Amino acid sequence: ETGVTQSPTHLIKTRGQQVTLRCSSQSGHNTVSWYQQALGQGPQFIFQYYREEENGRGNFPPRFSGLQFPNYSSELNVNALELDDSALYLCASSPWTSGSWEETQYFGPGTRLLVL
């Protein structure tokens, strides 16, 4: 196990609703990245947070937003859910050491979201 935790493990929502997913990064890891993995596809980068600020964003609409807290934990919020938002949402953490990012990212167990 990587030490990255996510909650909840599973979630069912209906179209138009809002959802918040949570992630606690591994001890000593101060950057958090979020990915969406649709069935049969590789993970797609949503955004990354470092020092409580967004530090890069993938090709996702503004209804996908996030937060990082002083303890480096993070939230992913998705508004106005669509059917295509059904996916596995993965959080990954990596450390900032010696003045640079260690590029290796360690994934949590994921949250499986189903939108009906």
Q: How far is the CB of 32 from another protein (least distance, A)?
A: 11
Task: For residue 61, count other CB atoms closer than 10 A to its CB.
Answer: 10
What's the closest the beta carbon of residue 104 comes to another protein, in angstroms?
6
Give Cβ neighbours of residue 97 (< 8 Å, ≥ 6 apart). none
Single-letter amino acid, residue 8: P
- Calpha distance 103→116 (Å, rounded): 36
DSSP for residue 99 = T
d(CA 35, CA 44): 5
Q: From the CB of residue 62, how many other CB atoms can be counted at a distance below 10 Å?
A: 7
Which of 34, 35, 49, 64 forms a contact with another protein (CB under 8 A)? 35
Q: Binding segment for another protein among 15-23, 59-67, 68-76, 107-115 (CB under 8 A)? A: 107-115
Q: Which is nearer to another protein, 108 or 115 (CB)?
A: 108
The residue from 55, 65, 73, 86 that contacts another protein (CB under 8 A) is 55
Q: Is 93 in the site for another protein (CB under 8 A)?
A: no
Task: Single out the residue of 74, 76, 110, 115 in contact with another protein (rule: CB under 8 A).
Answer: 110
Question: What is the number of other CB atoms lying within 10 angstroms of the CB of residue 109?
Answer: 15
Binding site for another protein (CB under 8 A): 2, 31, 33, 35, 40-45, 48, 55-56, 58, 88, 90, 92, 94, 101, 103-110
